Amino acid sequence: MRWRVSVILGTGGTVGLAELTLFIIAGRERHYGPDGRALLGWNAMTAPTSPSPSSTAAGTRVLCAMSGGVDSSVTAALLKDQGYSVVGAMMRFWPDDKRTETFDSCCSPDAAYEARRVAEQVGVPFYLLDYREQFQQHIVGPFIEEYAKGRTPNPCVNCNTKVKFDELVKKAKMLGCQYVATGHYVKRVVNERGEVEFWRGDDPRKDQTYFLWGTPREALPYILFPVGELEKPRVREIAAERGLLTASKPESQNICFVPGKVQDFVAEHLPQVQGHIREIRTGEIVGEHLGTQFYTLGQKKGLGLYQTHRVRHVVHLDPATQTVWVGDYEDCLWDDLSASQANYLVDLAELPQRLQVQVRYRTAPVGATVLHADEHGFRLRFDEPQFAVAPGQSAVLYDGPRLLGGGLIDDHAPALPGAVRQ
């Protein structure tokens, strides 16, 4: 595939603009100048930089992931100030067709334009990486499949681990960069053994370690988080001081490929299948629905039940029988959980038996005891029962501020009334 892109070339504090034709094939690039001659290797794309000799980072190449937002913009600026040889890059996820308009600001063509502008302001080269195929395969497809199975996925976890970090670290190595840097609010800590650990960011409201539990452990030494020790207001101040165009840009709050409500997006991809809504304790039919994919555990609004004065919550989803089970708040409490597809950022032998687990991004971690853990998954018991622990979401493990790993929460079928158990 052929793209025409603007690449920022910086040298000695000056900035020039060169038009390149970028051929993107299966995530790999070849670059050609205006005269049609191939530019061979990474150095052919970028003019040599002259970082400060006093900087300990002088000459060290860093691939900086840029999204067109303030966090990644400040990340690039801070790295440049520290003397790194910074290369800005944005991963292209949006398609060629009209669906481009549905992509949220963090992943849209407009965001790519703003990221390129910021790279020009900072004085670093910038280019696009084509990962549309990987995004569809690892993010959009599984997102729809999980809802079809009655689960509640978190696509941002998969995007950060299976696409962003995994692919960017590989790309950085290919292009002679020693590190990858992002604008995540995560602290990079080196322990007494020289091992890199991920800790919660200093801004508790913005901490993003929850999304990074699936990062390959071998990739940790190659990842930098320049804003991890800053609070969000200070990041915006730095952007304003530098005159960066993203200084006051609002944060993205939505799933990037879902333009509106998740239910509407799911309805476009999964057929409606009518089924019953039943009481979990009696099996009584109390309503009808058009598909289990439109519900999630703990939900109490929009159930459309027959006349009832009691508050009902979704307790269990069974796509095989197209049944939505509802019950009391107490019926949604979990004493324990099992998780699969685990990834650990510590040796299994060092995983503490007592730790904290976080089962949603916006909830506080809670105490738990590990009952079993192996390379495939783990089982643990909460100190206190937890409400509506949703299969498909992430169970993320912590030891205080340190991220230990995590896994995807398994299905947890409650005891069903005997007459309808089959």
CB 186 within 8 A of CB 239: no
Lowest mean pLDDT across 33-37, 91-95, 408-412: 33-37
* Domain map (residue ranges) of the chain: 2-242, 271-327, 331-409
pLDDT class of 15 with cuts at 50, 70, 90: very low
Please write down the long-range contacts of 34-40, taking CB distance under 8 Å and 24 or more positions apart.
none
Q: What's the pLDDT at 174?
A: 82
**Cα–Cα distance for residue pair 368/404, rounded to 1 Å:** 14
Q: How many CA atoms lie within 13 A of 9 on its CB side?
A: 15
When pLDDT is averaged across residues 283-311 and rounded to a whole number, the result is 89
Residues in the annotated binding site for ATP: 65-72, 91, 183
Q: Is the pLDDT of residue 46 over 80?
A: no
Least confident piece of the model among 46-55, 131-140, 141-150, 377-386: 46-55
Secondary-structure percent of the chain, ordered helix, strand, coil, rounded to 5: 30, 30, 40
CATH code of the domain made up of 271-327: 2.30.30.280
**What three-state secondary structure class fits 13?**
coil
109 within 8 A of 70, measured Cβ to Cβ: no
252 Cβ contact partners less than 8 Å away, ≥ 6 residues apart:
69, 104, 105, 106
What pLDDT is attached to residue 258?
80
- The angle formed by the CA atoms of residues 235, 89 and 8, to the nearest 5 degrees, is 95
CATH superfamily name and code, 2-242: HUPs (3.40.50.620)
**What torsion do the CA atoms of 259, 262, 267, 270 make, to the nearest 10 degrees?**
110
Q: What angle do CA 32, 38, 40 make, to 5 degrees?
A: 110
Catalytic residues: 159, 256
DSSP 81-136: HTT-EEEEEEEE---SSGGGGGS-GGGSHHHHHHHHHHHHHHT--EEEEE-HHHHI
Task: Look at 15-24, 142-151, 317-326 and tell me which has the smallest mean pLDDT.
Answer: 15-24
- Predicted confidence band of residue 321 (pLDDT cuts 50, 70, 90): very high
* Model confidence pLDDT, tens digit, residues 141-171: 889 999 999 999 998 888 888 788 888 888 8
Question: Which of 54-63, 109-118, 159-168 has the weakest average pLDDT?
Answer: 54-63
Q: What is the mean pLDDT of residues 1-5?
A: 39
Gyration radius of the chain's alpha carbons: 24
**Region 331-409: CATH code:** 2.40.30.10
pLDDT score recorded for residue 19? 36
Which range among 157-171, 258-272, 407-421 shows the weakest confidence by mean pLDDT? 407-421
Q: Band the pLDDT of 267: cuts 50, 70, 90.
A: confident
Cα 333 from Cα 314, distance rounded (Å): 11
Q: Is the pLDDT of residue 421 over 60?
A: no
Please compute the mean of the pLDDT values over residues 230-257 and round it to a whole number.
90
How many angstroms separate the CA atoms of 54 and 59, rounded? 11
DSSP for 53-77? TT-TTTT-EEEEE--SSHHHHHHHH
Q: Which residues contact 320 (CB under 8 A, 6 or more apart)?
A: none
| Mean of all residue pLDDT scores within the chain | 83
